[in-house]
Amino acid sequence: MTRHHNRVSNPSRQITIRPASLFAVVIIAALAAVAPAGRAQQPLSSAAEVLTLEQAVALALQHNRQVKNAELEAAKYEDQLAETRTRRLPSFNLYALGTQQLSEINFLFQKGVFGTFPGIGPIPAENTTLSTPRRPTASILAQVTQPLSQQYRLGLNLQQLKLGREIAREEVRSRQQSIVSQVKQAYYGILQTQSGLQSTEEATRLYRELDRITNEYVVQQVALKSEGLQVKTQLAKSEYDSLTLRDLLLTQKGQLNHLLGRDIRTDFSVSSVPDATQYEIDLAAAHARALEQRPEVREARLKLKQAEYDVRAKKAENIPDVSLSFHYLTLQNFDQFVPKNITGVGISLSWEVFDWGRRKHELAEKGKTVNQANNGLTEAESAILLDVDSKFRKLQETRQLLRISQLSQEAAGETVRVTLNRYDQKTTLLRNVLQSQTSLAEANYQYQQALLGFWTAKADFEKALGEDQ
């Protein structure tokens, strides 16, 4: 954003000004420089809701839609864990088959198949065929199966899901920190625009008064018409700057409302930021804190553990599936000689003896995934250390710039005081008074920008450390 400096056009021509008008100009010029030292200016609108930075952050964490979606994604793992735990419990299965017999089912009993007994002879005495009639029948099988050897693999799957849940929670933290940083950036951006708008509006009031006085002097032929046109040009530029800044302010407020998850048309004003505070932390401590707190590092470590569990789960597939099984079979509407109910309990085993090397290649693939996770962890730690270094240096730079701006503000204020005293003693010209007032207004504006820049850099540094608020 280009900021037009307030300057008096063509100061080389001395103009005789009546004391009453001169006093009005000096008063208005002084108003342009009354920004309190060390604080951002007050909100433009007193009727709108005053939104503090803490309230904005709290609203964003509660209502931002991106944060809500990340929380819902993490909550899905609770359902997946509950579903996987049920697989460790007995499974109850019921199979029913209803059929219409298209052909008879014949059972052939050979002569003497049941033995030959003295005095009786062979049983049966001759070949005997028993047949079921062609009619509707039903077969019902109920089975209860308790996994045994699968418990180990299921336990590994549960550990993987728990790690996935922790990864999702770290992603929620990352999203929250990103939203908090965006809220702070938007909030400070509004303060900067608001500060510039107030300064521009004060300058506009000065130019309007100067334009009124200059018009009178042009009529009185005390000032040139070109001087009046120069003042009008500066006034038009200042009014254009005010319009541009007001439009920008409305856009920034809409963007902040969007981050807060509320209607973008909600009107509000922002409160001033406090004075800069000392933030003492050495770089080594910052590195250690960032490596401990940053979601990216935690997520990379969890992904490494998850990949290691995945390798163990793949190895566990070599273990045969052994289950304890109970079954109950009932046959309905068959002939009388067919058993009605059959029950049994036993051990079931399922094992793929030969897989053509498939599991070997799958295991090799999982091993490469572990190596990738190791590289990802190292990369994340390196990137975070670079980020901390950059934000740490930026914070130091803004603190020093704030100190320079504060000294410039104090110097400009002293210059105004001296110039006003000299003008009161008629030892300096009006243009010098106006220029000193303009310099003070600019110094105040620069200090406010430096102060907001410091808080922005501090917010970025806290995000680099992995702070949640």
Backbone angles phi, psi at 380, to 5 degrees: -65, -45
Give 256-283 pLDDT, tens digit per residue: 999 999 999 999 988 877 776 666 678 8
How far apart are alpha carbons 245 and 247 in whole angstroms?
A: 5
The pTM assigned to this predicted structure is 0.73
CB 377 within 8 A of CB 297: yes
Q: How many CA atoms lie within 13 A of 335 on its CB side?
A: 12
How far apart are alpha carbons 210 and 104 in whole angstroms?
A: 116
Backbone angles phi, psi at 388, to 5 degrees: -65, -45
CATH value of 35-86+151-317+357-465 in 3.40.50.10860, 1.10.3720.10, 3.30.365.10, 1.20.1600.10: 1.20.1600.10
β-pair partners for 140: 96, 330
The sign of the dihedral angle between the CA atoms of 354, 357, 362, 366 is: positive
- Exposed, middle or buried: residue 337 (CB in 10 Å: 0-12, 13-18, 19+)? exposed
How far apart are alpha carbons 371 and 305 in whole angstroms?
A: 11
Token pair listed for 139: 């077969």
450: Cβ–Cβ under 8 A, 6 or more apart, which residues? 398, 401, 402, 404, 405, 406
Token pair listed for 154: 């299921």
Residues 394-408, buried b or exposed e (16+ Cβ, 10 A)? bbeebbebbeebbeb
**CA dist 257 to 175, 178, 195, 466, Å?**
17, 16, 20, 24
Structure confidence at residue 301 (pLDDT): 94
Max distance between CA atoms of the chain, in angstroms, equals 157
How far apart are alpha carbons 200 and 445 in whole angstroms?
A: 10
Domain positions in the chain: 35-86+151-317+357-465
- Which residue, among 184, 191, 183, has the nearest Cα to 261 in the 3D structure? 183
Give 435-456 pLDDT, tens digit per residue: 787 788 788 888 888 888 888 8
Render each residue's pLDDT in the chain as its tens digit; 469 residues: 333 333 333 333 333 333 333 434 444 444 444 444 334 444 444 457 889 989 999 999 999 999 999 999 999 999 999 999 999 999 999 999 988 888 888 888 888 888 888 888 888 888 888 887 888 889 999 999 999 999 999 999 999 999 999 999 999 999 999 999 999 989 998 988 888 888 888 878 877 887 888 788 888 887 788 877 887 888 898 899 899 999 999 999 999 999 999 999 999 988 877 776 666 678 899 999 999 999 999 999 999 999 999 999 999 988 999 999 999 999 888 877 778 888 999 999 998 888 898 989 999 999 999 999 999 999 999 999 999 999 999 999 999 999 999 999 899 889 888 887 887 777 777 667 777 877 887 888 888 888 888 888 988 898 899 887 6
- Which parts of 294-357 fold into alpha helices (H)? 295-316
Beta-sheet strands, E only, within 36-133: 49-51, 91-100, 106-109, 116-117, 121-122, 128-131
- Exposed, middle or buried: residue 312 (CB in 10 Å: 0-12, 13-18, 19+)? middle
